[in-house]
Amino acid sequence: MKYKGVIFDLDGVICSTDHYHYLAWKALADRLGIYFDETINNRLRGVSRMASLEIILERYNGTLSEEEKLAAAEEKNNLYRELLKEMTPADLSPEVKNTLDALRAKGLLLGIGSSSKNTKFILSRIGLGDYFDKISDGTNITRSKPDPEVFLKGAEYLGLGPKDCLVVEDAKAGIEAALAAGMDAAAIGDATSCGLATYNLSAFSDLLNCVE
Residue numbers annotated as active site:
9, 11
Which residue in 36, 81, 74, 71 sits closest to 55, CA to CA? 36
Tell me the C-alpha distance between 151 and 181, whole Å: 7
Q: State which of residues 44, 87, 103, 167 lies at the interface with ligand BG6 (CB under 6 A).
A: 44
Minimal distance, residue 48 CB to ligand BG6, in Å? 5
Contact predicate 204/187, CB 8 Å: no
Cα distances (Å, whole numbers) of residue 68 to 32, 73, 124 = 12, 9, 31
Picked from Mg ion, ligand BG6, none, the partner binding residue 47 (CB below 5 to 8 A depending on kind) is: ligand BG6
Judged by CB under 6 A, does residue 99 bind ligand BG6?
no
Judged by CB under 6 A, does residue 116 bind ligand BG6?
yes
CB closer to ligand BG6, 131 vs 164: 131
Which residue in 4, 53, 6 sits closest to 25, CA to CA? 53
> CB-based contacts of 89: which residues, under 8 Å, 6+ apart?
126, 127
CB closer to ligand BG6, 47 vs 158: 47
Tell me the C-alpha distance between 99 and 152, whole Å: 24
Picked from Mg ion, ligand BG6, none, the partner binding residue 41 (CB below 5 to 8 A depending on kind) is: none
> Using CB under 5 A as the criterion, which residues of the chain lie in contact with Mg ion when the complex forms?
9, 11-12, 170-171
Tell me the C-alpha distance between 165 and 2, whole Å: 9
Tell me the C-alpha distance between 25 and 60, whole Å: 13
State which amino acid sits at residue 8: F
- Per-residue binding letters, 5-34, with ligand BG6 (x by CB under 6 A): -----xx---------x-------------
Minimal distance, residue 86 CB to ligand BG6, in Å? 15
Minimal distance, residue 35 CB to ligand BG6, in Å? 18
Minimal distance, residue 171 CB to Mg ion, in Å? 5
Residues that bind ligand BG6 in the complex, under the rule CB under 6 A = 10-11, 21, 44-49, 52, 77, 114-118, 138
